[in-house]
Structures are given as structure tokens and as C-alpha cells.
Amino acid sequence: MKVGIVGLPNAGKSTLFNALTRSRQAQVGDYPFCTIEPNVGVVPVPDGRLAFLAGLAHSEAIIPAVVEFVDIAGLVAGASRGEGLGNRFLARVREMDALVHVVRCFAGNGGAEAGSALGDVETVATELLLADLESLEGQLERQRRRAKGGEKDAAKICALAERLVKHLGNGQEALSLPLGEGEGDYLGSMCLLTAKPVLYVCNVAEADLAGESGPVLALRRYAEGHGPAAVCAVSARLEEELGDLDPSDAAQLLAELGVADSGVDRLIRMAYELLRLASFFTAGEKETRAWTFRRGMRAAACAGVIHGDFEKGFIRAEVVSFADLFRFGSMAEARAAGRYRMEGKDYRFQDGDVALFRFSGPGRGG
């Protein structure tokens, strides 16, 4: 999963990116979390369940689920007309599954009143809308030609594109357009920027973290009308500092500020929620590992997350929920209580399922 960090210059994107990527390496065992390129970083999804599972299975290593964050600089007003890094910026955004939109809500250097934070968000939103409208025009032309040529699906795609043009023209993101049967796939293939879920991150002053300041409330109202979207408040600079402290000092600093947990942890969890992602686990002596799947995915597809051969040769999944394992304290007890289930390929995986896949394949007895 790839999440792009966007926002106007000086919103705090790089500061947040550093906090997300650098600070977390020490926390997650031996797995190499790294910055792939200067602006791309792989970040583990915090999950307290892994340590418990690894203890039960005497695992040598813990491998958490990961999210890839990309710091996408270069958005300025006029990007859709090629200003700033215009086209390069937009092409990069297209590759993302979701966006974290950093909004400057701290004072200083022309920093924010409620109105200006909202104005910043609208500037970015407008550029994305304009870029989508332009892309839709080109796509409509192509699909109309295909429709004339008698291509079956072209008329349906045209109808959707026309509705989208109207919707975007009203200042609404593609994501909020009600879709008919089968239109989700068409929308997906249109690669629109405003079809991506957005997490608005209000970058607030440390002093504003404990309560909700004006700009944060204003953005919450905005997000309600431009959803599905989520809003959270962090102080990017504080998060960067926390990353340099050892855990007990970090906890003390958070307590002094009246904040319950690290904003970065919250942000990663919210991005996961927003994308409707969940984790299932595998646990053995070599490793305990979290795997990411989309809510509603079935057992065979989940097996495929681990390896294509698991999906092809799928026989069954042996599943126990984390909650049951935790309650009964061991696999044997959970089994004795009848909580260890055999599930077929159509079983819909649940967040926290601990699974063992049985499959047949070359060199495998099943």
C-alpha cells in the first residue's frame, strides 16, 4: 500500500515524513525499515498483538505489516496547468492508493487562522479537481469513439464519465459519487486523483495538541462534506523530536503535553482504517508476521497475499481469532474449546485472524 504525502509548501510534509520513517526503526525488531529513495519510506504498522503471538509461537522474528509513505513535493496553485512541478507532481499522485494531506495549522510565517487552513485545503483540492476534469475530457473523447465502434462497455463508461464531470464541476471529489453496479471497476481504471481516500493531517502547534483548535474543527466540517475522509491532528515537529527520544522519555513528554499516544502511530492506524485494510497473522518458529488484506477479502485471496501458489493450490485455511487465542492463552486451549476452525476458500477473513494455509502444489503434499 502506498500513501502519498501532499500539501502546500511549508505545511510540514518533510518534517512529517522524517518523523514517520526515521524514528521508527528501533522499535520493530530486525526487520529492515528503510528509506528506499530520499522521499520514499517503508513504515511498520504498529500492532501490539504481534508480540503476544510471537511469544506463543517462540518466533525468532516479528515482521509487521507495512505502509509505504511517499513525500510528494511540488504542489502549488496552478499545478494542473503545469506550474511548479505540476505534471510530475500529478503523475506521482496517480500512483498512490491514498493521500495524506498535510495542512499547516501552526502559527508563524503567515501561519494559520481557521480560514487560511481551509483556504490551503481548497487550493490543493482545486488543483486535483482541475487535473481530473482535464483527464476526463480526454477519456470521454476516447470512449465516445469506442462507443461508435460498437465496443460494449464504452457507453457505460461514457455515462459514468459524464456524471463525474458534473460532480467534479460542483466541487465534489470523484470519491463521493454514488456508483451503480459494476461502476467501481470503471472508476478504478480512470485513475482519477480525487477518487483516492484522503486523510487530512492538521499540523498543529504542540500547545494545541490536547484540545481541538479552530482550524482542526473547520477541517472536520470540511471533511464531512468531502468524504469519505478522515482528520487527525499532529505536531510534525514534536513527532520528529519524539523519534529521537528513548521510549520512556517520549512517554513522559507526551504525558506532560496531555496527549495519550504518538500522533504518528495514530496516523498510520487511521490510514489503514481509511483504506479499509486489516491484518491477519501467521505465526511459526521462524517468524510471526502480519499480512495486509482488504476487508471483505476471501480466504483464497488472502492466501494469495502470501504467495500466488497458496492461492492456486488452496485447500483450506485453519483459523483462530486473535481474541480467542488471547482469551484461552494457547493454541491447545483454543482448540480444546472448539475455537480452531477449518475454513474453505470463500470464508471472509476478519481482522486479527491467525491462519495456517493448507495447499497443494508442486512438491507439496498439502
Letters for 95-114 (x = contact with ligand GDP by CB under 6 A, - = none) are -----------x--------
* Count of residues touching ligand GDP (by CB under 6 A): 14
Whole-number Å distance between alpha carbons of 147 and 157: 9
Torsion of CA 5, 8, 9, 14, to 10 degrees: -20
Minimum CB distance to ligand GDP smaller for 86 or for 352: 86
Q: Smallest gap, in angstroms, from Cβ of residue 16 to ligand GDP?
A: 7
- Within residues 220-249, the interface with ligand GDP by CB under 6 A covers 235-237
Cα 97 to the chain's mean position, in Å?
Answer: 7
Minimum CB distance to ligand GDP smaller for 73 or for 131: 73
Residue 64 near residue 46 (C-beta atoms within 8 A) = yes
266 contributes a contact to ligand GDP by CB under 6 A: no
15 contributes a contact to ligand GDP by CB under 6 A: yes
Residue count (the chain): 366
| Cβ neighbours, 10 Å, residue 364 | 12
Q: Smallest gap, in angstroms, from Cβ of residue 23 to ligand GDP?
A: 14
23 contributes a contact to ligand GDP by CB under 6 A: no
Stretch that binds ligand GDP, among 12-20, 190-198, 301-309, 334-342 (CB under 6 A): 12-20
| Cβ neighbours, 10 Å, residue 168 | 20
117 contributes a contact to ligand GDP by CB under 6 A: no
Stretch that binds ligand GDP, among 11-19, 127-135, 253-261, 331-339 (CB under 6 A): 11-19
Binding residue for ligand GDP (CB under 6 A) from 4, 6, 7, 72? 7
| Cβ neighbours, 10 Å, residue 12 | 25
Whole-number Å distance between alpha carbons of 278 and 294: 6
Minimum CB distance to ligand GDP smaller for 109 or for 248: 109
69 contributes a contact to ligand GDP by CB under 6 A: no
DSSP 159-198: HHHHHHHHHHHTT--GGGS---TTHHHHHHHTT-GGGS-E
Minimum CB distance to ligand GDP smaller for 14 or for 25: 14
- Sequence-distant (6+) residues with CB within 8 A of 26 are none
Minimum CB distance to ligand GDP smaller for 39 or for 194: 39
Sheet order of strands, 66-71 included: 35-37, 40-44, 66-71, 2-6, 98-104, 198-203, 229-234
Binding residue for ligand GDP (CB under 6 A) from 3, 6, 13, 304? 13
Minimum CB distance to ligand GDP smaller for 168 or for 233: 233
For residue 228, cis peptide bond before it (omega within 30 degrees of 0):
yes
All three cell numbers of 315: 485447500
Q: Smallest gap, in angstroms, from Cβ of residue 331 to ligand GDP?
A: 45
DSSP 195: G
182 contributes a contact to ligand GDP by CB under 6 A: no
Residues in contact with ligand GDP by the rule CB under 6 A: 7, 9-15, 106, 203, 205, 235-237
